[in-house]
């Protein structure tokens, strides 16, 4: 009987522990920038590793049941941020036919009496947004909200006065939500309609001092080009873009680096004052290389892994993943699609890259994250382009990433300890395989598993023994 009682207690304890863990995993709340200006923190001081997904057209394309399915899937796959447009354009309507604005005027949100109740005819566009934002909070997801996409602003459809009124509406409505992050801009250079972006940024900060703000820029540019010193900008964001090395016509311009997204991080990392930085839009899985020619080869899961590990190991505080059909929420009702999307969104959510992103987050949070620094001096040799290797370390550990399985030649002695234990971390499945222990002196060369080829990527993990 005593054994039965003990077993019952053990089972209940395990269940209770799982429920607590699930609750903690799904909590959202205030985020802040770390004192050293490199990372984001939760309210209790724990590190917040941003693992984002681009669900740009979520508010306009999906009904409530579909939105629930999408958010639940992303939560289960380890994502904790959804990047989404509040307004794709001034004429946007949602799944139920509700217009967001009166007469395409952002200063006149089309708000009706009542709230988000079951009958879709009784609520409006903004109640639908409320529903999804609140549902995301239940699932532990932050919503990085783009007030209005850049193309309509650049097209002259939003004046400074309209922007000020609209921003006030947004902050009054969402300033008390626990899971909001503001993302000014929207695939646009800050120099395009600069006065509008400054008005929105300053308005967000004034009306909502408790939520973080960034700026989503045009491809192959960074918010640092226009807003690094602005008080409203809490962290920087760059868009490394969707072009191959040979497709990048801007490579010779200042701060344009082709596929080398780690160079954006290095540039941002050197600026004063220090602000966190992140690749908010790298190449999407399933999108044509170069975007517009749908006969081109498409970016794969190995490419999105490469962008993730390159940027994070270089010093970024997180990473945003994207998938071609998911970002546009491509449905069977659509007439055509953008960028040659040939999948429906609810199939595309299961593309391999989406399931592999959590391994990056898990790896980074498995060691003391806030002491972490990029450190290329660990590498005794390196290459360029796809041969490039990137290293990051704490006091007692180091991670080194190779995209194609080339040997990694290491200067030992960069972390503490007389000996280090080495292992291979597999970015495709998150599994770790022990190698051996080595003296923490001199130079040692490590040979990753399998043959050298693009996509045979590995992380060499070194730890104080």
Instruction: State pLDDT tens for residues 169-197.
Output: 999 999 999 999 999 999 999 999 999 99
Cα–Cα distance measured from residue 306 to residue 172, given in angstroms and rounded to the nearest whole number: 40
pLDDT in tens, 411-426: 999 999 999 999 999 9
In the chain, list all ranges with CATH 2.60.40: 375-464
State the DSSP string of 186-211.
Answer: EEE-TTTTHHHHHHHHHHHHHH-TTS
Q: 225 pLDDT exceeds 80?
A: yes
pLDDT digits (tens, 9 = 90+) for 313-348: 999 999 999 999 999 999 999 998 999 999 999 999
- pLDDT, tens digit (0-9, with 9 covering 90-100), for 6-23: 344 344 444 443 443 344
Give which of 102, 234, 105, 85 is closest to 166, Cα–Cα.
105
Could you read off the pLDDT of 236-272 as tens digits, one per residue?
Answer: 999 999 999 998 876 566 667 889 999 999 999 999 9
Write out the residue limits of the CATH 3.20.20.80 domain(s) in the chain. Answer: 27-365
Q: Tell whether the model's pLDDT for residue 439 goes beyond 90.
A: yes
- CA–CA dist 200, 411 (Å, integer): 48
Contact assessment for residue 382 and residue 431, using Cβ atoms and an 8 Å cutoff:
no
The pLDDT value given to residue 2 = 39
- Number of neighbours of residue 347 by Cβ within 10 angstroms: 11
Structure tokens given for 108? 């006149």
**Do you know the residue count of the chain?**
465
Q: Determine if the pTM surpasses 0.75.
A: yes
Of 87 and 19, more confident? 87
- Distances in Å between the Cα of 5 and the Cα atoms of 2, 11, 17 are 5, 10, 18
pLDDT in tens, 88-116: 999 999 999 999 999 999 999 999 876 54
Q: What is the pLDDT of residues 297-309, one digit of tens each?
A: 999 999 999 999 9
**Into which CATH architecture does domain 375-464 fall?**
Sandwich (2.60)
Q: Which fold has domain 27-365?
A: TIM Barrel (3.20.20)
Q: Pairing between strand 397-402 and 213-217? A: unpaired
The 389-393 sheet, strands edge to edge: 373-374, 389-393, 397-402, 458-464, 419-425, 432-439
In whole numbers, what is the pLDDT of the chain averaged over residues? 93
Strand pairing report for 389-393 and 373-374: antiparallel
360-404 pLDDT, tens digit per residue, is: 999 999 999 999 999 999 999 999 999 999 999 999 999 999 999
**Torsion angles phi and psi, residue 417, rounded to 5:** 110, 145
Q: How far apart are CA 201 and CA 121, in angstroms?
A: 34
Task: Determine which of 18-22, 200-204, 216-220, 351-355 has the lowest per-residue pLDDT on average.
Answer: 18-22
């Amino acid at each position: 009987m005593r054994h039965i009682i003990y077993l019952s207690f053990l089972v209940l304890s395990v269940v209770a522990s799982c429920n607590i863990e699930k609750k903690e995993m799904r909590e959202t709340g205030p985020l802040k920038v770390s004192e050293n200006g490199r990372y984001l923190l939760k309210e209790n001081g724990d590190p917040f590793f941003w693992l984002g997904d681009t669900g740009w057209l979520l508010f306009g394309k999906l009904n409530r049941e579909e939105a629930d399915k999408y958010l639940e899937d992303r939560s289960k796959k380890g994502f904790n941020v959804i990047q989404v447009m509040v307004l794709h354009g001034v004429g946007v309507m949602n799944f139920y036919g509700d217009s967001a604005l009166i007469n395409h005027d952002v200063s006149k949100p089309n708000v009706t009496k009542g709230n988000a109740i079951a009958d879709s005819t009784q609520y409006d566009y903004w109640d639908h947004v409320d529903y999804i934002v609140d549902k995301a909070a239940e699932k532990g997801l932050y919503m990085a909200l783009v007030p209005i996409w850049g193309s309509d602003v650049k097209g002259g459809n939003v004046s400074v006065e309209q922007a000020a009124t609209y921003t006030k509406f947004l902050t009054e409505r969402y300033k008390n939500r626990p899971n909001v992050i503001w993302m000014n801009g929207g695939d646009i250079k800050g120099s395009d309609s600069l006065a509008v972006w400054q008005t929105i940024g300053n308005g967000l900060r004034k009306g909502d001092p408790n939520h973080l703000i960034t700026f989503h820029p045009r491809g192959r540019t960074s918010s640092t080009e226009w807003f690094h010193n602005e008080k409203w900008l809490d962290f920087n964001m760059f868009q490394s873009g969707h072009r191959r090395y040979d497709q990048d016509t801007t490579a010779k311009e200042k701060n344009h680096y082709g596929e080398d997204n780690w160079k954006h991080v290095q540039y941002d990392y050197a600026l004063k004052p220090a602000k966190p930085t992140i690749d908010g839009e790298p190449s999407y899985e399933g999108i044509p290389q170069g975007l517009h020619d749908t006969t081109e080869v498409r970016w794969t899961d190995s490419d999105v892994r490469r962008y993730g590990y390159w940027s994070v190991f270089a010093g970024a505080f997180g990473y945003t993943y994207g998938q071609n059909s998911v970002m546009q929420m491509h449905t069977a009702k659509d007439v055509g699609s953008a960028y040659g999307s040939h999948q429906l969104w609810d199939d595309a959510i299961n593309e391999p890259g989406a399931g592999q992103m959590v391994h990056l987050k898990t790896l980074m949070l498995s060691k003391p994250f806030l002491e972490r620094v990029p450190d290329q001096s660990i590498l005794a040799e390196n290459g360029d382009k796809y041969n490039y290797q990137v290293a990051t370390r704490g006091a007692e550990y180091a991670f080194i990433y190779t995209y194609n399985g080339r040997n990694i030649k290491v200067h030992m002695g960069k972390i503490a300890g007389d000996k280090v234990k080495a292992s291979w971390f597999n970015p495709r499945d998150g599994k770790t395989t022990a190698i051996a222990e080595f003296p923490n002196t001199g130079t040692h060369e490590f040979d990753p598993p399998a043959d050298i080829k693009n996509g045979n990527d590995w992380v060499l993990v070194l730890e104080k023994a």
